[in-house]
Amino acid sequence: MDPRRLFEFEGYGGERPRVFFIGLEENSGDDEENLRRRALFRRRTDLRRAHDLLLGTEWWERGSARVTVWQVAAQIRAALALGKTEGSQFETQWRRIRSDMLGRDHPDADTLLTELLPVPTSRNRT
């Protein structure tokens, strides 16, 4: 594993994002296997593909809906697109963005999820 690859990672999404979400740090462990898998990421990586690699292909369907920060980001993106923050259209839109467009690498997706500290560290260290 070339550890420099970890610092080349810019975030989750495609090459032409219009909306950027910048977080503080990756929420993940820093064990060797996790870092080895992250070193396989491209400069910009599809959010689902990355989590399939990190957590297994079954995780997305049951786990992605529970990531609060992704829900909030999807709601912000939906509000920007629709100009409103309530109603069934807004509800449908933010859920679709969260599952299919947020941090994704396909032509309709226009967000980039990035972090100030892109390499995960364990919070249990002193």
What pLDDT, in 10s, does the model give residues 36-50? 999 999 999 999 999
Give the model's confidence band at 122: pLDDT under 50 very low, under 70 low, under 90 confident, else very high.
low
Greater pLDDT, 16 or 124: 16
111-117 and 19-25 beta bridge pairing: parallel
Q: Is the pLDDT of residue 83 over 90?
A: yes
Q: What is the mean pLDDT of the chain?
A: 90
- pLDDT of 126 reads 44
Do 77 and 94 form a contact (C-beta atoms < 8 A)?
yes
Mapped onto helix, strand or coil, the DSSP state of residue 86 is coil
Q: Can you state the angle between helices 88-96 and 68-82, rounded to 10 degrees?
A: 120
Q: Is the pLDDT of residue 119 over 80?
A: no
User: DSSP letter at 46?
Assistant: -
Percent of the chain scoring above 70 in pLDDT: 94
| pTM check: above 0.85 | yes
